[in-house]
Structure 1
C-alpha cells in the first residue's frame, strides 16, 4: 500500500514539477529500510576461480581479507550496514618436512657427565640440557634423531626427533620399537613413505584417545625409513649401501580421524558491512540471558537501587525517561562494562560487541547497542 501511495505522489510531482525522474527515484529509495543479514559461508571451487586463485586457497590471511569483501558484495548485493558473514576458506600454510642427518644414542658416559646417576633422563628439561651440551652451535633446522632412556614410572627407551628452529629445540614425536611392532613392522622402521602415511594416522588415533585433540590440530611425527645411504650418515665411506634415515611428516586431525597434512588449513574470518563495503570485523553479536540480567541487578543494587531492583524483577531495562527506574545510556554503559569484564575478561583491545537486551518503553521490546574495547574499557561505537 505504501508503494502505491508513493507512486501516486511521484505521478503528481511529474506533472507539477520539472525535477528529473532520477531525483524522484532517489527519494523513493530513501524510504526503504537497509537490508541486513547474517550468514555462515564456505568458499567453493567456483569462488576461488572467480577470485583467480587457481590452487583453491589463499597465500595469507591478509590476502583473504583483501579479496573476500568483493566476493561478498557479489554474493549478497542487497545487504548493507549491520550485515555479518563468517567466511571459511582454505589457507596455504606449508610445513617443511625434514630429513635427519644426525643420529645419536645417548651413552652411559653422557648420562654420567651430566650427573644422571641412574643412567636415564626423567624430565623434558634433562633432554634440553643434553641437547644444548651436545650441540652447542647447531645449524638452523638441524634435526637430531635421538635415542635415549627415560624414566616415567619405569625406564623406557625412546626415539624422538628434536628440530632446532628459532633458537630452540622443538620436540618431534617419534616411535618406540614396540610401537613399530604394533604397527605391524618386523623392524623399527617402515619400508616406504607410503606405508608410513597409511599406518601413522591409525596409530595417532589410538595414541590420543585419552588425550583428546581438536579438529584442526597438527602433529609433527618422526619416522624411520630403511633406504639408500646417499649422504653416508653412517660414516662408512659408501653412499650406495642401506641404512636408516629419520623423516618428519605432519598429520592433521579433522575431529574424527588423522590424515597426512597437505599444507592447507581451514580458517574462518568474520566480515561486517560498514554501510559502504565489507570489512574484516571481530564483532560478537550477543543477546542478554536471564543470568546476565540477574548479574547486572546484583552488581548495581547498591548503586542504582530502583533501576537495578526493577530490572532484576521484570527482566527488562526501563527506558522511559519519566520513570524512577530509568536506565540512561550512561548507566547502561556501566552495566555493559561490568557484564563484559565478567563474561569476557580476556577480550583484546578493539574487540566489538553488538548487545541486544529487553527494554520497557510502555511495552517490552528489544534494543541493541554497539560497544568496543578501547583503553581497557568498553565504550559506545
Structure 2
C-alpha cells in the first residue's frame, strides 16, 4: 500500500502533466529498489560472448572499460556502496599481475655485431669459449635506458664450434689510404708498387679527403702527387674481362698544367695498356677542366670549369666490350649514373682490366687523391656492402635481466619456452609445436601444468615459476606473454586475474577498496596505541576489554582509531587506497557497523 499512499496526492495531475508523474515513479523506484550488494563473480564463456570477446581480455584497460556496463546489466538494482570482485581470463596470460607484468612488457634487446665485438668476436655471435653473462650486463647498460624494476629480454647467439668466415664485397678494390700516422712514400708503406719513373715519388699524407655519403670518406690519409714528380704506381685487383668497370676517387687539386693537360690516374692491364685516363688542365681563367682518354693520352675535356683546392668525386668508366670511357665530376654522390657525362672518349676495346694506376707527369696536376674504389657497377661505388658468410653450429638463447636501480642482474624464477619445449607438447595441427606458440584454441593452461610437472618432477609445494611463452592473437600477431605458476596441492596452477569494482551511486568503477572485519587483536592494538592520548582517556580501556566501540565514541574518533589500524596492517599503502572496516558498536545492543576510509595526503580520512 505504500506506493498508493504516495501517488494519491498527485492523481489530479494526470490529465495536465505526464513528466512530473514519470519523475515521481522514477524517484520512488530508485528509493525502494536500490540494494547494497557484495559479490565475487567469475566471468563465464557466455559472458565473454556477450562482451564479444574470444574467451578473455587482451589488456587490463579493456577490463576496466568493458566490465562496468556488464555489471550494470548483471546487477541492475545495486547502487552506491556495492562491490563486485570480478575474476576473468587474460588472452594468453596475465598482464595485470605485478610479478608478471614487467616480463610481459619487457624490452626485447637483440645483440648486434658491435655488442659481440666487446668479447673479441668479429661475427654475429659469441665464440665457444666465451661466457656471455660476463658481457650482457655491460651491453644492457650501454644500450637500454631503465629505472628500477625494469626488465629486458636479451636475445643472443653463441657458436658451439669455431666459425668458418668467408667475406665477399661489392667492389673489386677499395683503398682508403689508411696507412698510419707517419707521412712518407706511398710505395714504401702500402701495396702500391712503382712501375715507372723515379723521385720525387708518389707520397702518403696523413690528411684525408671527405664527402658526405661517399663510403670511402674521411678515413686514414691520402695519396699525394706533384706536378714535378716522375714516379707512377699501381695496385692490382681481380681481373675483369668483359662488361664495364667503374673507377672513383676523391680528388683535390691545387695546380694543373697550362698546356694541353695530362692524366694523373687510370686503369690498366697486366702490361702497359692504359684505359680510362683521367686528367686535368687549366681553363685559362683561374679554374680547370677535367678530361678523359679511353686508350690514348690525348684527352677529351668537358666544358665545365672547376675550382682548385676543392674536393670533387671523380668517376670514370671503361666499357671493355666497345672501348668507350665516360667521365663524371660530382660534388655529392649520386645513387644512379647521370644521363650526361662530363666527357666521353672512345678507344680500344677488349682490354682485360686488373690494375689501377696513379701517375705523376711533368707539368701535370699537383694535389691529393683519396677514397679510391673499383667496381662492376655505378651503384656499388656509392655503397659499402660487405657480405660475411659465417658457417658453424650455434645456439639461440633468450634470458631475462632485471634492473635494480644501479645494475642489470639475471632474473630469477623465470623460464622462457624454447622451440623444443613447444614440440614436446605436440607438433600436430592444433598443438603448440605446430607453430611454436599458443592461441585461443591452444590454451596455455591446458598444456603448461603437465609440461612443468614433467620438467620439474621434484618440485615442492608452493614452488613458483614465471613461464614466458609466445601467444598468437588474430589480427595482431604473435606476442610474448607470461603467467605465474605455483605448485598447489601437488599441481602446477596458473595464477588467476581479478579486479574489484565499486558502485559510486552513478556507475561501476574499478575500486581498490579492501574490506576488512576487525578481530579481537585489532581492538586490543588500537586500545594500546590510544592509551596515552588524553582525548581517549575514557574510551581506550573499554575498547580493548570489550572488543567493540560504544555510543560514547564520535565519528571522528572512530575514523582516527581505524587510521591507526590501517597503518598497522598496511604500512606501505599508496595514496588513494580505500578500506571498508566492519566492526562492533554497542548502542542499545551490539550492532555491526561499517565505515569507509581513504588515504589522502598521507592521512586516513572518512570516505563517504
Asked if 1:314 is matched to 2:546, the reply is: yes
Matches within 5 A, 1:216-295: 217-220=465-468, 253=485, 255=488, 256-258=490-492, 266-295=496-525
Asked if 1:372 is matched to 2:604, the reply is: no
Asked whether the 8 Å contact 1:204–1:258 carries over to 2, the reply is no
Structure with greater Cα Rg: 2
SS in 2 for 1:49: helix
Corresponding residue for residue 347 of structure 1: 573
Asked if 1:7 is matched to 2:233, the reply is: no
Asked whether the 8 Å contact 2:38–2:82 carries over to 1, the reply is yes
SS in 2 for 1:206: coil
Question: 1:106-154, CA deviations, whole angstroms, 9 ceiling, x for partnerless residues?
Answer: 46xx7xxxxxxxxxxxxxxxx743545799978984235699xxxxxxx
Asked whether the 8 Å contact 2:81–2:504 carries over to 1, the reply is yes
Asked whether the 8 Å contact 2:425–2:451 carries over to 1, the reply is no
Question: 1:150-191, CA deviations, whole angstroms, 9 ceiling, x for partnerless residues?
Answer: xxxxxxxxx99553778856456599xxxxxxxxxxxxx889
Asked whether the 8 Å contact 2:155–2:396 carries over to 1, the reply is no
Corresponding residue for residue 72 of structure 2: 73
Asked if 1:362 is matched to 2:591, the reply is: no
TM-score (structure 2 length as normaliser): 0.42
User: Taking structure 1 as reference, are residues 332 and 146 closer, same or farther at Cα in structure 2, changes over 3 Å only?
Assistant: farther
1:143 to 156, 166, 182: 156
Asked whether the 8 Å contact 1:160–1:174 carries over to 2, the reply is no
Asked whether the 8 Å contact 2:399–2:416 carries over to 1, the reply is no
Asked if 1:209 is matched to 2:460, the reply is: yes
User: Taking structure 1 as reference, are residues 137 and 28 closer, same or farther at Cα in structure 2, changes over 3 Å only?
Assistant: closer
Matches within 5 A, 1:172-183: none
Rounded Cα–Cα distance in structure 1 between residues aligned with 2:399 and 2:41: 38
Cα offset for 1:300?
1.2
Q: CA RMSD in A?
A: 4.3
Corresponding residue for residue 28 of structure 1: 28
Question: 1:6-47, CA deviations, whole angstroms, 9 ceiling, x for partnerless residues?
Answer: 424534652699775435534533652630111111112222
Rounded Cα–Cα distance in structure 2 between residues aligned with 1:356 and 1:136: 50
Corresponding residue for residue 50 of structure 1: 50
1:163 to 394, 399, 414: 399
Rounded Cα–Cα distance in structure 2 between residues aligned with 1:285 and 1:47: 26
Asked whether the 8 Å contact 2:416–2:467 carries over to 1, the reply is no
SS in 2 for 1:373: strand
Question: 1:250-281, CA deviations, whole angstroms, 9 ceiling, x for partnerless residues?
Answer: 7762645449x9xxx74211000111110000
Question: 1:61-104, CA deviations, whole angstroms, 9 ceiling, x for partnerless residues?
Answer: 11110000000111111111111111111223576999998576
Q: Greater shift after overlay, 128-137 or 300-309?
A: 128-137
User: Taking structure 1 as reference, are residues 141 and 331 closer, same or farther at Cα in structure 2, changes over 3 Å only?
Assistant: same
Corresponding residue for residue 123 of structure 1: none
Rounded Cα–Cα distance in structure 1 between residues aligned with 2:409 and 2:82: 46
SS in 1 for 2:32: coil
Asked whether the 8 Å contact 1:359–1:366 carries over to 2, the reply is yes
Rounded Cα–Cα distance in structure 2 between residues aligned with 1:30 and 1:200: 54
SS in 1 for 2:22: helix
Rounded Cα–Cα distance in structure 1 between residues aligned with 2:462 and 2:51: 40
Corresponding residue for residue 152 of structure 1: none
TM-score (structure 1 length as normaliser): 0.63
User: Taking structure 1 as reference, are residues 145 and 209 closer, same or farther at Cα in structure 2, changes over 3 Å only?
Assistant: farther
SS in 2 for 1:32: helix
Rounded Cα–Cα distance in structure 2 between residues aligned with 1:65 and 1:22: 33
User: Taking structure 1 as reference, are residues 164 and 104 closer, same or farther at Cα in structure 2, changes over 3 Å only?
Assistant: farther
Cα offset for 1:192?
4.5
Q: Greater shift after overlay, 63-72 or 288-297?
A: 288-297
Question: 1:294-343, CA deviations, whole angstroms, 9 ceiling, x for partnerless residues?
Answer: 11112112212211112223222122xxxxxx211222222112111111
SS in 2 for 1:142: strand
Q: How many pairs align?
A: 296
Rounded Cα–Cα distance in structure 1 between residues aligned with 2:602 and 2:452: 45
Cα offset for 1:293?
1.0
Asked whether the 8 Å contact 2:59–2:90 carries over to 1, the reply is yes
Cα offset for 1:207?
4.4
Greater per-residue strand proportion: 2
Greater per-residue helix proportion: 1
Rounded Cα–Cα distance in structure 1 between residues aligned with 2:560 and 2:140: 57
